[in-house]
C-alpha cells in the first residue's frame, strides 16, 4: 500500500490553513473578549451616560481622537452595556448609530434615526427637513423612552450642513416626552470651528480625548487579537513588538497595526510559510502601500466612488441592475449631491467590471421568467471595510 492510503486524511486536516484560524476576527470592531485599555475613557463615558439609566437625557458628549484610536469601538461597547443594563432595570432604551460621512444632512440623519427605531420603514428619498423633523417629534412626543443617538464622524455633517442639527437635538427634550441623548464622535479636533457659540453653550460641554495609542497599548491590542485569528505559534512576540513599534511611531492607529499584521499573514500564506518571520514585517508594510484594489478605487471619480460605496454597503451577495441605481440615488441624497442618469451609472458598472472590481452575469430570474443582470463585488471582507472607509474619507 502506498503512503497516502495509509495516512488518514480528514477534511479538517486538509482544509486546515497553517496561518489563520479566523481572519475575520482581525477586523471585528468589538472583539469577543472586549477592548484592551481605554479604561479612563470608558470610565468617563460610564459616568457621563449613567443618567440615561435614571431616565434623564445627556446632551452632546464629544469624543475626539485620531483615526484608529478606538472611538467607534468603545462607544459600541458602551452602547451594548447600556442596552443590557437597561433591560435588567426595565428601563426603556433605544439607540441609533449614524455614520455622518454617509449621512451628511439633517434630513437624512433624522430619517436614518427613524428607520433604526424600527417601527416603520421611512422612504429615503423625497423628504424635506421640516417633514423629517416633525415626524421625528411626533414619533417621540408621547413616548416614555430613552433614545441615545450616536453621530459618528460628525465633522462631515457639520462641514456640509452646519450645526443646526446639534442645536435642535440639544433643545428637543424641551418639546417631547422621550429623553433624547447624543454622543458625537469626530477625528477632526477643529470640529469646534464648525459649531456656533449659541450651540456650543448647550452642546458639547463634555469632551473625552482619545490620544494615539502608545507602543505598549498597541502591543497588547495585537496580542489579544492574535489569539483567535491566527493558528498557535504563527505570530511571535518579536513580530508583534515590531508592528507595535512601527505603528506607535506613525500615529498610534490600532486599525493600521491590525492591517499590517494581516498583511504579514497574507504574505506568509503566499510564500507557503507556516510562521510569520520578522523579515516579513517590512515586506508586508511595503505591500500594503501597493494594494491594487484600493489603488484602483482611489483613482475613481466622485460619482464612481458613490456607486462603489453603494455596492460595498449592500448586504446581499448579488445585486440586480435596477436595484443598484435606486440605492445609488439614496447614497447621493445622503451625501447631498445630485445623482447622475441611469445610463451613466450603467457605463460605470461596465468600467468596474473591466477594472476587475466586480463581476456581472446575465441570469434568468426563474420566477419572473425574465433576464436580469446580477452584479457581485469581488473583494474580500477585510479589504471591503478598508475600501468603505477610504471612500467615505474622500467624499
Ligand atoms: N482598545 C482597543 N482594543 C482592541 N481593539 C481596538 C482597540 N482600539 C481600536 N481597536 C480596533 O482598531 C480598529 C479601529 O478602531 P475604531 O474603529 O474604534 O477607531 P476610530 O477611533 O473610530 O477611528 P476613526 O476615527 O478612523 O473612525 C477596530 O478594528 C477596533 O476593533
Ligand atoms: Mg470611527
Q: State the DSSP string of 64-83.
A: EE-TTSSHHHHHHHHHHHHH
Q: Whose CA is nearest to atom 27 of ligand 1?
A: 67
User: pLDDT value at position 2?
Assistant: 45
Q: Is 35 in the pocket of ligand 1 (CB under 6 A)?
A: yes
User: pLDDT value at position 6?
Assistant: 60
User: pLDDT value at position 269?
Assistant: 84
User: pLDDT value at position 160?
Assistant: 87
Q: Is 339 in the pocket of ligand 1 (CB under 6 A)?
A: no
Cα separation of 390 and 305, whole Å?
10
In the numeric block, the cell 510569520 is attached to 276
To test the pocket of ligand 1, the residue of 218, 223, 252, 254 to mutate (highest count of ligand atoms within 8 Å of its CB) is: 254
Helix, strand, or coil (residue 93): strand
pLDDT 10s digits, 206-230: 889 999 999 999 999 999 999 999 9
What average pLDDT does range 25-50 have in this prediction? Answer: 94
Partnered with residue 149 across adjacent β-strands are 96, 182
1 has pLDDT over 50: no
Q: Is 252 in the pocket of ligand 1 (CB under 6 A)?
A: no
What pLDDT band is residue 15 in, cutting at 50, 70 and 90? low
| Ligand (nearest to CA of 73) | 1
Q: Whose CA is nearest to atom 4 of ligand 1?
A: 35
Q: Which atom of ligand 1 is nearest to the CA of 73?
A: 18
C-alpha 207 – ligand 2 centre gap (Å): 16
pLDDT 10s digits, 160-196: 888 888 888 888 888 888 999 999 999 887 777 778 8
Asked if 179 and 56 touch (Cβ cutoff 8 Å), the reply is yes
All structural domains of the chain: 18-27+214-290 (1.10.8.60), 47-210 (3.40.50.300), 295-394 (1.10.10.10)
Q: Is 187 in the pocket of ligand 1 (CB under 6 A)?
A: yes
Neighbours of ion ligand 2 (CB under 5 A): 72
Q: pLDDT > 70: what percent of the chain?
A: 91
Q: Record the pTM.
A: 0.85
13 has pLDDT over 80: no
pLDDT 10s digits, 305-362: 999 999 998 877 667 767 889 999 999 999 999 999 999 998 898 888 888 888 776 6
What pLDDT band is residue 235 in, cutting at 50, 70 and 90? very high
Q: Which atom of ligand 1 is nearest to the CA of 65?
A: 21
Partnered with residue 370 across adjacent β-strands are 365
Q: 254, exposed or middle or buried, with CB in 10 Å at 0-12, 13-18, 19+? A: buried
| Ligand (nearest to CA of 76) | 1
Q: Which atom of ligand 1 is nearest to the CA of 74?
A: 18
Partnered with residue 151 across adjacent β-strands are 98, 184
Q: Is 70 in the pocket of ligand 1 (CB under 6 A)?
A: yes
What average pLDDT does range 274-297 have in this prediction? Answer: 87
Average pLDDT of the chain is: 88
Q: Whose CA is nearest to atom 16 of ligand 1?
A: 70
Amino acid at each position: 500500500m502506498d503512503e497516502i492510503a495509509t495516512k488518514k486524511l480528514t477534511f479538517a486536516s486538509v482544509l486546515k490553513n497553517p496561518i489563520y484560524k479566523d481572519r475575520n476576527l482581525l477586523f471585528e470592531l468589538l472583539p469577543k473578549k472586549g477592548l484592551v485599555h481605554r479604561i479612563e475613557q470608558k470610565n468617563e463615558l460610564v459616568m457621563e451616560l449613567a443618567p440615561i439609566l435614571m431616565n434623564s437625557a445627556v446632551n452632546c458628549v464629544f469624543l475626539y481622537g485620531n483615526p484608529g484610536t478606538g472611538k467607534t469601538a468603545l462607544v459600541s461597547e458602551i452602547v451594548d452595556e447600556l442596552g443590557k443594563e437597561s433591560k435588567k432595570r426595565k428601563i426603556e432604551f433605544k439607540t441609533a448609530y449614524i455614520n455622518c460621512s454617509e449621512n451628511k444632512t439633517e434630513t437624512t440623519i433624522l430619517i436614518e434615526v427613524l428607520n433604526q427605531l424600527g417601527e416603520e420603514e421611512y422612504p429615503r428619498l423625497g423628504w424635506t427637513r421640516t417633514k423629517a423633523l416633525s415626524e421625528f417629534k411626533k414619533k417621540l412626543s408621547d413616548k416614555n423612552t430613552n433614545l441615545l443617538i450616536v453621530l459618528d464622524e460628525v465633522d462631515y455633517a457639520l462641514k456640509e450642513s452646519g450645526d443646526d442639527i446639534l442645536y435642535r437635538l440639544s433643545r428637543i427634550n424641551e418639546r417631547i416626552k422621550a429623553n433624547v441623548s447624543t454622543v458625537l464622535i469626530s477625528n477632526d479636533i477643529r470640529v469646534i470651528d464648525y459649531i456656533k457659540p449659541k450651540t456650543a453653550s448647550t452642546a458639547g460641554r463634555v469632551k473625552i480625548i482619545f490620544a494615539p495609542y502608545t507602543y505598549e497599548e498597541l502591543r497588547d491590542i495585537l496580542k489579544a487579537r492574535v489569539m483567535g485569528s491566527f493558528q498557535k505559534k504563527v505570530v511571535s512576540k518579536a513580530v508583534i513588538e515590531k508592528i507595535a513599534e512601527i505603528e506607535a511611531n506613525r500615529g498610534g492607529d490600532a486599525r493600521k497595526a491590525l492591517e499590517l499584521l494581516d498583511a504579514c499573514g497574507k504574505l506568509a500564506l503566499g510564500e507557503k510559510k507556516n510562521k510569520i518571520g520578522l523579515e516579513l514585517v517590512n515586506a508586508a508594510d511595503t505591500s500594503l502601500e501597493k494594494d491594487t484594489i484600493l489603488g484602483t478605487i482611489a483613482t475613481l471619480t466622485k460619482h464612481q466612488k458613490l456607486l462603489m460605496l453603494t455596492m460595498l454597503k449592500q448586504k446581499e451577495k448579488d445585486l440586480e441592475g435596477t436595484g443598484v441605481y435606486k440605492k445609488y440615488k439614496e447614497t447621493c441624497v445622503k451625501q447631498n449631491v445630485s445623482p447622475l442618469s441611469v445610463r451613466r451609472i450603467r457605463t460605470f458598472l461596465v468600467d468596474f467590471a473591466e477594472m476587475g472590481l466586480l463581476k456581472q452575469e446575465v441570469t434568468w430570474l426563474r420566477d419572473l421568467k425574465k433576464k436580469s443582470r446580477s452584479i457581485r463585488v469581488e473583494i474580500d471582507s477585510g479589504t471591503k471595510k478598508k475600501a468603505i472607509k477610504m471612500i467615505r474619507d474622500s467624499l
